[in-house]
Amino acid sequence: MSNRPTSDESLTKFNEAFSSIEQIRGKPNKELDQYFVTKDTSLNRALLVNPDDYNHKRIITLGDMDLVALSIGLLSKPRDLAILDIDKRVSEIALNMKIDQNIRSVRFINHDIRTKMLGILNNQFDYVFIEPPMTEEGLEVGLSRAVQCAKKNEPSKIFLSFDIIDEKKHLIEEYFEKMNLTIESVKKSFNVYEHETPLEKSVSDLYVLAVSEESTETIPHHYFGPTYFRESYQKPHTYECKCGEIYSVGAKGSYSTIVELKEKGCPKCGYSENFRYTSSIPLE
C-alpha cells in the first residue's frame, strides 16, 4: 500500500479522527448485517487507489459504517465524497467529518438500496465502494445500485467487499457477467472483521471491478424481496398483495416460490405483479 500515514503527526491525526467517529458510530446493527471491519482494513480499502487519484474525483460509498470515506477524506481532496446509507447514525458521522475533520466535500444521503436509486446519482461517480448483505439477493440489488451510480461514459471502478455461503459462490461471477463488469483483481481475505460475520468467518474477499459503457444493472427499480441474511434464510417468507392479503412463500408455505404466486395471482383480487416482501426492516 502507498501513501499510508507515516509521520507521527499524521498518524496521531488519523487515529484521533477514527477514535472520535467510532464513539459516534456505536455498535453494529445486526438487523442491517453490519459487521465492522478493523481500522487497518478501512484504511487499506481507501488505499486501493493512490490518494492523489481521488483528487477532484467523485466517490460514493453505498453503506459506510466501516468509515472508508473517512480514510479517503483524510488522505485526499475529492470533488465529491458521498455516503449513502439506510442507517441515520451516519448523518452525525458525516457532520463530524465535515466540521471536526475538515472534510468539506463529504455529504450524507439517507437511502435504502432496496428502493430505486435516486436519479441524480446515476452515472455520476468515478469510484464506488460497496459491501452488501452476504446473500444472493443482497449481492444483486447492491451491485445493481453500484452499477447505476458508476460512470459509464468514462473509466470508473467498483470495489465490492463480499462473501456468500460456499454453494452459492459461483453466483458472484455470474452476476458480474450479467452486468457486464470486468474483474480487474480479486483480493482474497482482504477484509478483516472485528467479529464473525453471519457466515461464521472473520474475513471476506474484495473484488475490483471495471465499469464500461456496456455495464448495466439487473434490478433497475424497487426491489421487494428478502435482502438481509436473516431474511434470506428464514422460511417461509411472507408477501403482501396491494389489496392487503398476506401469502406465505417457500418451504411449508402456500406457494413454493414468488414466481408461482405471481403466475397464479392473488385469489382475492387477481393482482399478479409486485407482491411486497414483509420485511421487519421497513422500506425507506
The CA distance from 159 to 180, in Å, is 15
The CA distance from 166 to 197, in Å, is 14
Q: What is the pLDDT at residue 1?
A: 46
Q: Taking a C-beta distance cutoff of 8 angstroms, is the pair 190, 44 a contact?
A: yes
Nearest to residue 156, comparing CAs of 72, 105, 212, 220? Answer: 212
DSSP-assigned letter for residue 125: B
Within 111-170, strands assigned E span: 127-130, 156-162
Q: What is the pLDDT of residues 23-82, one digit of tens each?
A: 999 898 888 888 899 999 999 999 999 999 999 999 999 999 999 999 999 999 999 999
pLDDT-flagged residues of the chain (< 70): 1-3, 5-9, 282-284
CA distances from 17 to 73, 127, 157 (A): 11, 23, 27
- 245 forms beta bridges with none
Q: Which helix (H) or strand (E) holds 154?
A: none
CA distances from 53 to 62, 73, 156, 284 (A): 20, 12, 12, 34
Q: Which helix (H) or strand (E) holds 168?
A: none
Q: What is the pLDDT at residue 194?
A: 93
pTM of the model: 0.85
Q: What is the pLDDT at residue 226?
A: 86
Looking at the chain, the domain(s) classified CATH 3.40.50.150 span: 8-211
Q: Taking a C-beta distance cutoff of 8 angstroms, is the pair 133, 33 a contact?
A: yes
Q: What is the pLDDT at residue 256?
A: 83
Indicate the CATH number of 8-211 among 3.40.50.300, 3.30.1330.60, 3.40.50.1970, 3.40.50.150. 3.40.50.150
The CA distance from 144 to 128, in Å, is 12
Q: What is the pLDDT at residue 34?
A: 87
Burial of residue 33, with CB atoms counted within 10 A of its CB: 0-12 exposed, 13-18 middle, 19 or more buried = buried
Nearest to residue 123, comparing CAs of 92, 146, 100? Answer: 146
